[in-house]
Amino acid sequence: MVQIMSPRPPEGVMRPPELSSVAALTAALVETPSPNPGGDERAVAALVAEALAERGLPRPRTLASDPKRPNLVAELDFGPGGRHLCLSGHLDTKPVGDAVWTVEPLRATVDGDRMYGLGSADMKGAVAAMIEAAAALAADPPPCGRLTLLFTADEEDGAAYGARHLAEYERERSGLASADAVIIGEPGGLDADWDRLHLVSRGIARFRMITEGDQGHSSLVERTGAVNAGVTAARLLARFAETFRLTVPTPPTPAPPPAAPAPAPAPAPAPVAAASAPAPASAPAPASAPVAPASAPVAPASAPAAPGLDGWHATANGGMRLYGGVGYGVVPGRAGFDAEVRLLPGMTRETFERDLHAFLAASTEADPDLRARVEFDAPPCDWLPGTAVPADHPVATAARRAYATVFGTTPPDAVFPGTTDAAWLHGLAGVPTLPAVGPGLLARCHAADEWVSITAVEQAVDVYQQIARDFCAAPTGGGVA
């Protein structure tokens, strides 16, 4: 049950019976746990199906390669002609984690305009808003077009049972085969709700750096001169954080400022290639491999954004997990750390591995004791390319118009920092996908005391309606470039 933090909330704070329909549904979703890893979305999927039925919406199809991991598909046909839009959200959340929450993570706690709870921002508020928007569109439909609600499992842990499965094996039954565009409701705010229009979803490379040492009795180090793999791994991690550089492609041109009241289509940018499928794993080159000259600008691992499209930079994070050693009395013979790089569209694995092994070569030269190698994760999470929607694509234009209508302003075009189901819906299934048109701030996600603005969730209902009315009712149908 929804909890109000203060016994006597200030004026304007809603008690549970007074929550709007979309806020009440968000609270119910938050209070239906779906942590992943953990891997069971059945309860939250059943709640979504019930919410659709209560609003007179079509009964959803369930698509699942594992009965515990359902994906839901519900369709509204507004009439012949027009375009096909898919609104997509994931049903799983990250686990509660090891950080200390000051509120109960699996209870929806309302404090003023804030609703706290695991998944409130990422992204059960958006799922609720999509359902409410679909109900409003069913009651007052546009003249033509088609809308699909696509709610996925397993987004937080690789999507093997979710969007990846649908893009590989269920394109027809999921609606992806005929969809002209997808809107994902990831929390798109960076500094404030609705402050960016994200055209790009960054990809991810996941790998580990492993150092080798001389395992032996720790009391004899002065006599043997044994190399401690834990120490060399620590030095390598510090060097990675300080000196690793990435080759990044030139950013596409963003849309110009829109004319009031509705933004005009922007000139098309130079196309940014999005891979048709995740690249296969390949063995990394030796650390001493020659380094080819860079063919594109080289930036620090977390450099400031390039001019133009907001947020155009790749980000490298080392030390995501540390491991190694046996225990007291034993010099570690092996140690290492996991690392990730958030990839931009157009970055290639070949160039990335060249950067990586140039770094290892320089590190080995600076630290003669270092013996290191790289291992990538198993496919497909070893290398997920980024995706990009052109600034003048009809779905981007429809989103700008919706923002202008709902908020009276249009935010800058931007790169979404995270990796989303766009990797599969766009990168694999080939459907142009806006990755983060949703309520909430990314900084509140995967953290203790996650919360979402109730106002932003209510605004999302209007945003999704406006996009669907504009995009679906266009006079031409499928095949949007």
Q: What is the pLDDT of residues 284-306, one digit of tens each?
A: 332 322 222 233 444 444 433 34
Whole-number pLDDT of residue 3: 65
Say how many C-beta atoms besides its own lie within 10 A of residue 404's C-beta.
Answer: 19
Tokens representing 188? 């798109």
When pLDDT is averaged across residues 181-190 and rounded to a whole number, the result is 98
Does this model's pTM top 0.75? My answer is yes
Query: What length does the chain have?
Result: 481
Look-up of token digits 């390039």: 306
pLDDT in tens, 132-154: 999 999 999 999 999 999 999 99
In the chain, what percentage of residues exceed pLDDT 70?
A: 84
Whole-number pLDDT of residue 309: 85
Active site residue 155: yes
pLDDT in tens, 365-423: 999 999 999 999 998 889 999 999 999 999 999 999 999 999 999 999 999 999 999 99
Q: Where are the domains of the chain?
A: 3-201+387-472, 204-383
Active site residue 154: no
CA–CA dist 423, 365 (Å, integer): 37
When pLDDT is averaged across residues 161-169 and rounded to a whole number, the result is 97
Q: 34-43, 213-222, 256-265, 422-431: which range is least confident on average? A: 256-265
Q: Which of the following is catalytic: 155, 353, 413, 470?
A: 155
CATH topology for the 204-383 domain: Alpha-Beta Plaits (3.30.70)
DSSP one-letter code for 108: -
Whole-number pLDDT of residue 16: 55
CA–CA dist 257, 231 (Å, integer): 52
Q: Which of the following is catalytic: 40, 41, 92, 122?
A: 92
List CB contacts of 460: < 8 A, sequence separation 6 or more: 22, 125, 126, 129, 130, 133, 185, 438, 439
Starting at the edge strand found earlier in the chain, the sheet holding 109-111 runs 3-4, 109-111, 114-116, 451-453
Tokens representing 166? 């649908």
Nearest Cα to Cα of residue 374 among 196, 192, 129, 206? 206
233, 318 Cβ separation under 8 angstroms:
no
**Domain 3-201+387-472 is found in CATH 3.40.50.800:** no
List CB contacts of 461: < 8 A, sequence separation 6 or more: 22, 129, 132, 133, 136
